[in-house]
Amino acid sequence: MQKTIYGFSLLLASSLLLAACTNQTAKDAAISSSQHQASQQKQNSLSASSKKEALDSQSTSIKIADASLAAAKSANRQTTESSQRTSQPTETTTTVKLTDSQKTSVTKAFLTWAEGQAKIGNMAVSDWYFDHGAAGRGDWFADSPDGRILVQSQVAQSDANDAQYPIHAIGGCVFYTAKDGTVGHGNLYQGDFASNYSIDMDMSRPVSKYLLGDNGKVYELKTGNGQAVSTNTGFGEVADDGQSDEIQAVPFSVSQDQGAQSELKTLLAQY
């Protein structure tokens, strides 16, 4: 009987001991698992932080690179524009001083060239581009982008005229459509001065006045197309006081006719 009790007690003690060991093992496992999870979370946190720092650093590097690239492009563009401005030739004009006979020769030669061009356009051309009736003592002039052009001086030429008018007219011509069908060399000198262009010029069609400047440029006034045109159309007159304008001028523009520009430069090259 005692042996049975002893054996039962021993079995009970072993069970309790085994249970205690099992509980400890489970507790240790739980602690270990908790520590592992904490460690993993810490590593994940560090990894996320490292990734954020890396991304921030990369973003900063990209911004710096973009700024450097933009600065380089701007510098290159400025250098290119500066180079282009430097490489482009600057237009220079030289005034040619001509005598009256030389002006007449240049005008006749230019008119010969103009007659050929008029034929191509089925038009007529005349050297009667400017004239006026009774007038005061003021100069006649034309306005242009390059300054006033002296067309006819009412007083003797002087240095004062040169200062007031940077450009002097050599001569000119007028392109038009003739009522009588004339093509090439036209004849506008018909009738009296009062009749002017009305006898043979079709003013319902385009009319172009060319003015030859002693600076080597051809200036042009486009008119007609239903507007009345006369020999003083486009030109102004200075009042007797020499200061104000008695008749306002209609500005001429630099002609886009490159053939005319080239022809005048060729004619003036000999002087």
Answer with the one of 90, 118, 146 that is the final residue of a domain: 90
Q: Which residue has the tokens 């430097």?
A: 86
What range does the domain containing 59 cover? Answer: 1-90
* Torsion angles phi and psi, residue 236, rounded to 5: -115, 165
Q: Which amino acid is at 37?
A: Q
Please tell me the pTM assigned to this model.
0.65
Q: What is the DSSP letter of 231?
A: T
In a domain? residue 70? yes
Report the C-alpha gap between 251 and 206 in whole angstroms.
17
Q: Are residue 59 and residue 153 in the same domain, yes or no? A: no
Q: Which amino acid is at 197?
A: Y
Q: What would the two tokens of residue 194 be?
A: 């009062």
- Predicted confidence (pLDDT) per residue in 56-97, tens digit: 555 555 555 455 545 545 555 554 454 444 334 345 568 899
In a domain? residue 257? yes
Answer with the one of 71, 90, 109 that is the final residue of a domain: 90
Q: Are residue 69 and residue 131 in the same domain, yes or no? A: no
Say what the pLDDT of residue 39 is: 56
pLDDT classification of 31: cutoffs 50, 70, 90: low
Q: Are residue 106 and residue 75 in the same domain, yes or no? A: no
In a domain? residue 241? yes
Report the C-alpha gap between 82 and 210 in whole angstroms.
36
User: Among the listed ranges 135-144, 174-183, 258-267, which one has the minimum average pLDDT value?
Assistant: 135-144
Q: What is the mean pLDDT of residues 201-212?
A: 98
Q: Which amino acid is at 222?
A: K
- Predicted confidence (pLDDT) per residue in 145-197, tens digit: 999 999 998 765 555 566 789 999 999 999 999 999 999 999 998 888 889 99
- The chain-wide mean pLDDT, for the chain, equals 78
Q: Does the structure show a pLDDT above 80 at 137?
A: no
Answer with the one of 23, 57, 90 that is the final residue of a domain: 90
Tell me the sheet residues that pair with 236.
141
Strand stretches in the chain, DSSP E:
124-126, 140-142, 149-152, 167-176, 184-185, 206-213, 218-224, 236-238, 245-247, 253-254
In a domain? residue 82? yes
Q: Are residue 206 and residue 245 in the same domain, yes or no? A: yes
Q: Are residue 241 and residue 180 in the same domain, yes or no? A: yes
- Asked if residues 115 and 187 have their Cβ atoms less than 8 Å apart, the reply is no
Contacts of 61 (CB under 8 A, 6+ apart): none
In a domain? residue 148? yes
Say what the pLDDT of residue 120 is: 96
Q: Are residue 129 and residue 171 in the same domain, yes or no? A: yes
In a domain? residue 95? no
- Asked if residues 171 and 98 have their Cβ atoms less than 8 Å apart, the reply is no
Q: Are residue 176 and residue 152 in the same domain, yes or no? A: yes
Tally the domains of the chain. 2
In a domain? residue 196? yes
Say what the pLDDT of residue 88 is: 41
Q: Are residue 7 and residue 117 in the same domain, yes or no? A: no
Say what the pLDDT of residue 239 is: 82
Tell me the sheet residues that pair with 210.
173, 220
Q: What would the two tokens of residue 235 be?
A: 């030109």
Neighbour tally for 196: CB within 10 Å: 20
User: At how many degrees (to 10) do helices 100-120 and 258-268 cross?
Assistant: 150
